[in-house]
Amino acid sequence: MRRARACHTPSVRRLLPTVAVIAVLVVGGSIIFENSKPSSTSTVASGSLVAAKKELVPPVLKEDFTVLSCSQRTTIGLEGCAEHRILSVDTRINALRRQVFQHLYDNAARRDFISAEDAWFAYRRAMCMSESDVNEAGSLVPVDFANCVVHLDRQHLAELVTLRSSYEPAS
């Protein structure tokens, strides 16, 4: 039987304002940091600027884990199953990011998109760390974290689909 999502627990709901503040600080800090850099500098926190050409490129979502084998019989196997789902959704997110990026008409809009995606990634990490704290120090922490990432990735995928469709002409 599936356990209720941890984001509906009172402890996680109390953390939502904190996570929102962190996301705002990340976005604000990256904007301030970028605006304070000399014009000859050409890197962003996400590495979305190409140094030689100063050309903006779409952000790419990359995970920092080694994929485990998927099995429904062990905790490590459950984590592996979630990791496979994460990579699958990440591939679709990256494709949509490229499509949205192509529709953005200037570098200011592209920088805003890059900042928003970086802030979303920081939010995803903070929220899933918070959700996995429900089983703090237990063997299910990485499984809870990975399942949370899958859940938030799927939500973000839907958001990117909506954003992309807002740039396309109506039929």
pLDDT in tens, 64-87: 999 999 999 999 999 999 999 999
The residue ranges of the chain whose pLDDT is under 50 are 1-7, 10, 12, 32-53
Residue 83 lies in a domain: yes
pLDDT for residue 171: 66
Q: How many domains does the chain have?
A: 1
Residue 65 lies in a domain: yes
Residue 3 lies in a domain: no
The contacts found for 61-68 with CB under 8 angstroms, 24 or more apart, are 61/90, 61/93, 61/94, 61/97, 61/121, 62/90, 63/87, 63/90
Residue 30 lies in a domain: yes
Residue 4 lies in a domain: no
Residue 144 lies in a domain: yes
Residue 41 lies in a domain: yes
pLDDT for residue 1: 40
pLDDT for residue 168: 83
Residue 52 lies in a domain: yes
pLDDT for residue 60: 97
pLDDT for residue 40: 29
pLDDT for residue 170: 74
pLDDT for residue 27: 55
**Containing domain of residue 56, as a range?**
9-167
Residues 6 or more apart whose Cβ sits within 8 Å of residue 163: 100
Contact (CB, 8 A) for 97 and 58: yes
Kindly state the tokens that stand for 124.
């995803």
Residues linked to residue 77 through DSSP beta bridges, in sequence order:
none
Q: What is the DSSP letter of 28?
A: H
Determine the Cα–Cα distance for residues 58 and 96; give it in Å rounded to an integer. 10
For 169, phi then psi, to 5°, come to -65, 145
